Amino acid sequence: MKNLKIFLGCCLTIACFSIQSASAQKGGIMLYGSLNYHETTAGHQFSAAPVGVGYFFNDNMNVGINYGFNNAYTKALDFTDHSHEVGPFYSNTWPLGEHFMLIGQVDAHYIWGDQHVVNASGGMVDGSYNGFLFRVYPLVGIDLGKGWALKAKVAELSYKKKHGKDAVIPNDHEVITGINGSTVGLGLSKNLFF
């Protein structure tokens, strides 16, 4: 928690000393995303949460497509769980002064993946699934100048429906609401103007 406070404090300091302000413009392209890598003695995890490209059809609203993945390797099982999501997004931006912005985003994604699971007899087997994910979330953005912005997702409301392709992966659904570890994240974006 202390490291997160230091990191956010540094980001706020950078934003306060930004000289230029680059707001979105109609016809601009936004590239954004967050790549994460985490390693422990039990294994490692590599993910994108998500990365995307969008088109501003006016100064505040953009639509686009994004893609997310999570590959988690467990040494004890010698197996990597894979999950993927892809789909369109819509976001709207409200400026909060010269350097800050509030953003609302909606994602509608197709999901798929495979997992290593324990079956009824206690053995480890592979299974795959597909389904859909609908997610709505707010972000707070800090304009870093020259089209760059640091964005922090601060909460989430989402519904995920998973359909197992194999008997070992049951059909399941998941609802996420509020603020917790899976709903908070940081990422960067870059606006390109032509």
Q: 91-137, pLDDT tens digit by residue?
A: 999 999 889 999 999 999 999 999 877 666 767 778 899 999 999 99
Question: Which stretch of DSSP H or E encloses residue 5?
Answer: helix 2-16
Q: With H, G, I as helix, E, B as strand and everything else as coil, classify residue 127.
A: strand
Token pair 């490209």 in the structure block, residue: 53
Round to whole Å and give the CA distance between 82 and 113. Answer: 5
pLDDT at residue 183, rounded to an integer:
60
> Which two structure tokens, joined as six digits, stand for 40?
């422990």
Round to whole Å and give the CA distance between 89 and 54. Answer: 8
More confident call, 70 vs 165: 70
Q: Give the residue among 69, 93, 55, 51 at the shortest CA–CA distance from 187.
A: 51
Q: Going from the N-terminus, what domains does the chain have, and what CATH number goes with each?
A: 2-192 (2.40.160.20)
> What mean pLDDT do residues 23-52 have?
86
Give the confidence band of 24 by pLDDT, cuts at 50, 70, 90.
low
Q: Which distant-in-sequence residues (6+ apart) come within 8 Å of 13 by Cβ?
A: none
Question: Which stretch of DSSP H or E encloses residue 11?
Answer: helix 2-16
Round to whole Å and give the CA distance between 113 and 108. Answer: 17
Give the confidence band of 7 by pLDDT, cuts at 50, 70, 90.
very low
pLDDT at residue 126, rounded to an integer:
82
User: CB under 8 Å, gap of 24 or more: what pairs does 68-76 form?
Assistant: 68/109, 70/45, 70/46, 71/45, 71/46, 71/47, 72/43, 72/44, 72/45, 73/43, 73/44, 73/45, 74/42, 74/43, 74/116, 75/41, 75/42, 75/43, 76/42, 76/43
Round to whole Å and give the CA distance between 87 and 185. Answer: 19
Q: CB–CB of 165/127 below 8 Å?
A: yes
Give this prediction's pTM. 0.76
pLDDT at residue 11, rounded to an integer:
43
For residue 110, the tally of other CB atoms under 10 A from its CB is 12
